[in-house]
């Protein structure tokens, strides 16, 4: 990017779920590691959002944050280029959340699809406000772009709406953030549903090569292809989806032989196994290295937090001043 063009800012967030999996890697992290070269990047580990799902069993949170930070670094996020930090270490997130909560009605929030899906189980005030907190995350850094999956579309729309509302009611203060959708299709897990840790259908980055092979063997494939010789439909197969990411030229190397039946599912999985493990090896090696020096990882988070707090407080001074709730004399 040329020097004269002012760099734009990206804010991205992920809930601390512990060590990450292939779905997180391809759905988000790879994209982030590319973006860090062209934007000011803020990568926020959103522990406050995680509290909305479970506010009682908080002891494991610290390790989940740590493991996720390790995977961010193993996958190639560079702390020189991008501030990796913990949301709760920047109290301005909570402050802007509260101010934004004045600008939105309860029915707008109860209509959000993410709330509708979980309201039987999660009916706290905190969970209702989840998208408001997310809007605060984004606007606090005056982000131009927010890399997310399609499932987050409404949340980004709400952040934009809140920024707009604030600008109209008080004074132009925020940019209106835009979603940056990932182009990779949704990575599916062993049961053909979205790959996720909670469904235990995932391929963790910290699996050994043997564990990876075992997990791949258990994967769902086209049910019409029972044995080698049966013709299969690669477009209905989560293994083929992974070939598209990890195998060169799968349209010619895999798909035709699957369709004729010449390639059996086990052989197809073993081809993927080789390519997948090759691709994950450098990440896994880096992970092992990082685990030898835990204090380095905590230092990265502390430094990232420091940078984030500075930027956030700078923004909050503007926010308080726009709202005329800034009472102290400037020094």
Q: Could you say which of 16, 21, 33, 49 contacts ligand TRP (CB under 6 A)?
A: 49
Taking the complex as a whole, the smallest distance from the CB of residue 84 to ligand TRP amounts, in Å, to 14
Residue 23 binds ligand TRP (CB under 6 A): no
Distance CA 279, CA 265 (A): 21
Q: Which residue is nearest to ligand TRP (CB)?
A: 13
Cβ distance to ligand TRP smaller for residue 198 or 249: 198
3-state secondary structure of 14: strand
Taking the complex as a whole, the smallest distance from the CB of residue 288 to ligand TRP amounts, in Å, to 27
Residue 13 binds ligand TRP (CB under 6 A): yes
Taking the complex as a whole, the smallest distance from the CB of residue 47 to ligand TRP amounts, in Å, to 10
Taking the complex as a whole, the smallest distance from the CB of residue 80 to ligand TRP amounts, in Å, to 22
Stretch of 144-152, 212-220, 267-275, 299-307 contacting ligand TRP, by CB under 6 A: 144-152
Cβ distance to ligand TRP smaller for residue 93 or 287: 93
Q: Could you say which of 29, 77, 148, 265 contacts ligand TRP (CB under 6 A)?
A: 148
Cβ distance to ligand TRP smaller for residue 177 or 234: 177
Cβ distance to ligand TRP smaller for residue 42 or 240: 42
Distance CA 38, CA 43 (A): 14
Residue 103 binds ligand TRP (CB under 6 A): no
Q: What is residue 26's DSSP assignment?
A: I
Residue 128 binds ligand TRP (CB under 6 A): no
Cβ distance to ligand TRP smaller for residue 48 or 300: 48
Cβ distance to ligand TRP smaller for residue 145 or 271: 145
Residue 179 binds ligand TRP (CB under 6 A): no
Q: How many residues bind ligand TRP (CB under 6 A)?
A: 14
Stretch of 118-126, 146-154, 259-267, 307-315 contacting ligand TRP, by CB under 6 A: 146-154
Q: Is 146 left (phi over 0), alpha (psi -120 to 50) or beta?
A: beta
Q: What is the DSSP string of 76-89?
A: T--TTTEEEEEGGG
Residue 12 binds ligand TRP (CB under 6 A): yes
Bridge partner residues of 146 (DSSP): 179
Residues that bind ligand TRP (CB under 6 A): 11-15, 46, 49, 134, 137-138, 146, 148, 152, 155
């Amino acid at each position: 990017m040329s020097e004269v063009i002012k760099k734009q800012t990206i804010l991205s967030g992920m809930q601390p779920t512990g060590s990450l999996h292939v779905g997180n890697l391809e759905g988000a992290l790879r994209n982030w590691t590319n973006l860090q070269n062209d934007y000011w990047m803020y990568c926020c580990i959103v522990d406050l959002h995680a509290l909305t799902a479970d506010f009682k069993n908080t002891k494991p949170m610290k390790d989940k944050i740590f493991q996720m930070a390790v995977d961010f670094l193993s996958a190639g996020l560079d702390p020189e280029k991008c501030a990796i930090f913990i949301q709760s270490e920047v109290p301005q997130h909570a402050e802007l959340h509260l101010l934004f909560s004045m600008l939105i009605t309860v029915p707008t929030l109860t209509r959000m699809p993410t709330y509708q899906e979980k309201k039987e189980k999660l009916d706290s005030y905190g969970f209702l406000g989840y998208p408001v907190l997310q809007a605060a995350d984004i606007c606090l850094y005056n982000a131009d772009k927010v890399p997310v999956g399609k499932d987050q579309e409404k949340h980004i729309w709400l952040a934009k709406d809140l920024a707009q509302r604030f600008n109209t009611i008080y004074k132009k203060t925020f940019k209106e953030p835009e979603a940056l959708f990932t182009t990779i299709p949704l990575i599916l897990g062993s049961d053909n549903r979205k790959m996720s840790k909670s469904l235990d259908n995932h391929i963790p980055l910290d699996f050994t090569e043997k564990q990876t092979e075992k997990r791949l063997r258990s994967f769902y494939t086209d049910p019409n292809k029972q044995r080698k010789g049966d013709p299969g439909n690669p477009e209905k197969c989560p293994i083929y989806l992974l070939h598209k990411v990890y195998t060169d030229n799968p349209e010619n190397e895999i798909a035709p032989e699957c369709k004729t039946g010449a390639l059996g599912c086990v052989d197809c999985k073993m081809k993927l196994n080789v390519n997948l493990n090759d691709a994950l090896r450098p990440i896994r090696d880096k992970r092992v290295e990082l685990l030898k020096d835990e204090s380095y990882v905590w230092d990265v988070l502390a430094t990232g937090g420091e940078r984030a707090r500075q930027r956030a407080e700078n923004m909050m001074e503007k926010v308080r001043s726009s709202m005329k709730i800034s009472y102290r004399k400037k020094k």
